[in-house]
A and B are shown apart, each in its own frame.
Chain A
Amino acid sequence: MDVILNQMFAGLSMASILLMIALGLAIIYGAMGVINLAHGEFVMLGAYAAWALQTYAGFSIIVALPFVFVAVGAVGWIIERVIVQRLYHRPLDTILATWGIGIILQQVVRLSVGAESRFVKGPELLSGNIEIGGLVMSNYRIFVIVFSLAVLAASWALMTRTEFGMKLRAVIQNRQISECYGIEAKHIYSVTFAYGAGLAGIAGALITPLFSTIPTMGTGLVVDAFLVVIVGGLGSLLGAASAAVLIGEATALFSMLFNDTLGRIAVLAGIIVLIRFRPRGLFPSNTRR
C-alpha cells in the first residue's frame, strides 16, 4: 500500500514538472500556431540563469525565480521580434527556424559556460521530507507541485480575466477582424511568446536541484512536453494540466509494475492508441481558424 502511495506521489511530482514545461509550449502553440522546437533550450537557459544567479550573486533558487522569468522572457521576446515574427505565414519554416535557434542556444551555452554539468544548490528551507505513515514526500517536490498549480492558475487568470487576455483570445479567434478593432496583433504575439519562454525558464530553474544542468538537458524534456500538449489537446490549458497528470501517473504506475525502460515504452504505446481514437487530444479547443 505504501509503495502505491509513494508511487502516486512520484507520478504527481513528474506531472508537475511536465506541466511547468508544457504550459509555455501550449500557450505559444495555442495562441500563435507556432511549434516552438527551441522550447527545451528555454528550459535550459532558465536552469543556467538560476546557476549564474546562485554562483555570482548568491541568490537562492526561489529568490532567483522572478529574475529568471524576466531574463528568459526577454530572450524569447528578442527571438520572436527578430525571427519568428517574420515567419507567421510559413508555419513549416518556423519549425525549422526554431529548431535552428535551439541548436544555436545550446552551442552558445556550451562555448561560453562550458559543457560540463553545473551544480545548483537546492533551497535549505525546503530540504527534508514529510512522512505520513509509510508515505514519504520530499518538501521540494511538494513545493514544485504547488508552484506549478499556482502558475497554471495565474496563466488561466491572465487569459480570461485581464484585458491582455481578452485581446489575445480575440486575436486567436480572428486576427484580421481584431486588427480592424485596433488590437495590435504583432505586439500581442511578442508578449505571448515572451511569456511562454519565461514559463519555460522558471521550469528550468525549478528542476536544477533535482536534475543535472547541462547544455543538452532541454532536448529530452521538450519531447515529454510535446507529448503532454498533444495528449491534452493543442492550446488547451485544462488539457495540458490533465494530460500532465495522466502521463506522470501512468509513467509512475508502469515503472512500478515493470521498470523505467518498459514503463516508458508502455506510456508511448498508450499515447499512440489514445491519438488513434482522439486525434485532437483530450480537450480540443473548438476555435475556428
Chain B
Amino acid sequence: MKRRDFLSSVGAVGTAGALSAPALLTTIGRATAQGNDIPVGLLFSLTGAVAVVESTLHDAALMAIEEINAAGGVHGRQLRPIIEDPASDPATYADRARRLMIRDKCVSVFGSYTSASRQAVLPVTEQRSNLYWYPTLYEGRECSRNVMYGGAVPNQQQDELIPWAIENFGPRFYMIGNNYVYPKEENNYCKTLLAKHGGEVVHEEYVPLGHSDFSSVINRIRAEEPDVIFATVVGDSDVAFARQYHAAELDPARMPVVSLTRSEVEVKAIGGEAAAGHFSSAPYFMGTQTPENERFVESYKSRYGADQVTHFVSEAAYFQVYQFKAALEKLDPANITPETIRDAAVGLTLTAPQGEVLIDENLHTHLWPKIGQWQSNGQAEVLLQSQERVAPLPYAAYEGQTCTGEGLVRA
C-alpha cells in the first residue's frame, strides 16, 4: 500500500467512525434482545472454593435453557447461554457481570451462590439496569429492583419451623453458626420468633468459616443440654460438625440439630448414618413428590449421572430460568429489555418442582416451606408441609421497614 492510499483510507475510516459514534453511544449499554437469539448470561463459579455447590446450580440452569431450546425456544427464538466462570472471587463476579451485560448484551444474568458474590454484582446490575437472577436462600435485608430473588428469606424458613420445634422438642435453643452475615441475621429473626412463642436462647455462638474441630462446641452442648440445636453452619464446617456430633453419640431424638443450610449435598458428604434423625427447613427436598419434581430429578440424573443430587438451591436455579421464559412469552418480541422482563415477571405463577411459586412485586418469590427429617439413605422425609404458600418478607426482623414494588419503604 502506498503512503497516500493509506492516509486516505485512514481518513475515510476516521470520518465514518466519527459519524457513527453518536449512533454507537445511543445503543451501547442498553441490553436489548435483537437478532435471532436471546443472549442470557450464566455466572456460576466452576472453579474455586464455592464451585462444589455452584457448579450444580450451573448444571441445573443450563439444563433448563437446553430444555427450553429443545422445545422450540421463546417466540421461535433460541436462548443463547453465555457462560462465564468467576472462579469464586467476588471481584471477578463484578467484572464478568459487566462483561455479560455490556459486551454480550445479555438481557438477564443467572448467577451466584454466596451473598458476597451477589453484593459484588449488585452495583453492576443496578447501574446497567439489568436483571440478575439469584437462586439462593439468603438473609434478607435487601430490596433491589434489579435482582430476582428465587430463594427463601428468614420468615419463609422459620415461621413454621420455630413453633413446630418448640412444640415437639422444647423451648431451649442452642444457636451455632459460622461467623458471617447470614447466620447472624437468621439468628436475629429466630430470637424475635422465640420471644413470641415462649422459647429462649441458652447459648449463641459463631465459629470461623471453614472451622473443623467442634469438640469444644460439643462439650458445651453436652453441658447445656438444650432441647434444639439451631444450626446455620455452612459447607465443610457443617459436614465436620455433623460427623463429630454423631461420633460423640448425642442422640437426635433428644437433641436434634435443626438446620437452615443442610441440603442433600452436605448430607452426601456427612454420610446418611450420621445425618439421620436431624432436621432441615427448606422449600424443596429431592424427595418432594410432585410430577414436576420427578421429571426434574430424572432428567438431572440422566444428564449428569445417577449419583448426583438435586437440592433447594439447584431447584431454584432451574425454575428461575422457566420464570424468565414465561416472562418473555408475555412480551412483544420487539421489546425485550431487562425492565420489561422484570415488569412482566411480577405476579407470574409457575409450577416448580416444589409446588406453584409466585413472584412478588418486591421481586422475591412466594414459596412452599417444608420441614424434612434426614434418613439413613441420605434423603429427607418431609414431615410438615406448609398449608399455604408463604410470602417473602425480607425485612421481617426489622420493624417499620418493608420491601415493596417501589423498593424499600421506611415507616
Contacts and interface: CB of A to CB of B under 8 A. Distances in A.
B248 A138 contact: yes
A138 B265 CA distance: 27
Interface stretch (A96-104, A175-183, A186-194, A259-267): A259-267
A10 interface: yes
Contacts of A136: 222, 248-249
Interface string A117-146: 111011000011100000010101100000
Nearest to A224: B213
Contacts of A13: 215
29 contacts: A3-B219, A6-B223, A14-B213, A14-B215, A115-B52, A116-B52, A117-B239, A121-B271, A129-B248, A209-B243, A210-B212, A210-B213, A210-B243, A211-B236, A211-B239, A212-B239, A212-B243, A212-B269, A214-B52, A220-B210, A252-B215, A256-B219, A256-B220, A259-B205, A260-B206, A260-B208, A261-B207, A261-B208, A263-B216
Contacts of A122: 247
A9 to B, nearest CB: 8
A256 to B, nearest CB: 6
A189 B140 CA distance: 57
Contacts of A129: 248-249
Given A13-B215, A260-B217, A140 B247 contact: yes
A122 B242 CA distance: 13
A148 interface: no
Interface string B193-214: 0000000000001111011110
A117 B52 contact: yes
B331 interface: no
B269 A138 contact: no
B49 interface: yes
Nearest to A118: B269
Interface string A1-40: 0110011011001100100000000000000000000000
A255 interface: yes
A211 B205 contact: no
B240 A2 contact: no
A236 interface: no
B247 A138 contact: yes
A155 interface: no
A44 to B, nearest CB: 12
Interface in B214-249: 215-220, 222-223, 235-237, 239-240, 243-244, 247-249
A132 to B, nearest CB: 14
- Which of B51, B216, B220, B249 has the most C-beta atoms of chain A within 10 angstroms of its own C-beta? B216
Given A212-B237, A212-B240, A212-B269, 10 more contacts: A10-B219, A13-B215, A115-B55, A116-B268, A117-B269, A129-B248, A136-B222, A140-B247, A211-B243, A261-B208
A161 B211 CA distance: 39
A209 B247 contact: yes
A128 B47 CA distance: 38
Interface of A: 2-3, 6-7, 9-10, 13-14, 17, 110, 115-119, 121-122, 127-129, 136, 138, 140-141, 209-214, 216-217, 220, 251-252, 255-256, 259-261, 263-264
Nearest to A4: B219
A117 B239 CA distance: 8
B59 to A, nearest CB: 12
Chain B interface: which size bin?
35 or more
B57 interface: no
Given A210-B243, A210-B247, A216-B49, A116 B265 contact: yes
Interface in B266-284: 266, 268-271
B179 interface: yes
Interface in B149-178: none
Contact of B222 (A6, A17, A216): A6
Nearest to A219: B210
Contacts of A138: 247-249
A127 B219 contact: no
Contacts of B218: 10
Contact of A115 (B51, B213, B215): B51
A7 B271 contact: no
A217 B249 CA distance: 25
Contacts of A128: 249
- Which of B55, B212, B215, B240 has the most C-beta atoms of chain A within 10 angstroms of its own C-beta? B215
A17 B266 CA distance: 24
A252 B269 contact: no
Contact of B216 (A117, A212, A256): A256
Interface string B87-120: 0000000000000000000000000000000000
A3 B225 CA distance: 12
Nearest to B309: A116
A260 B205 contact: yes
Contacts of B237: 212
A141 B247 CA distance: 9
Given A14-B215, A212-B212, A117 B236 contact: yes
B222 to A, nearest CB: 7
Nearest to B203: A259
Given A136-B248, A259-B206, A261-B207, A116 B269 contact: yes
B250 to A, nearest CB: 10
A3 B235 CA distance: 28
A10 B223 CA distance: 14
Contacts of A121: 271
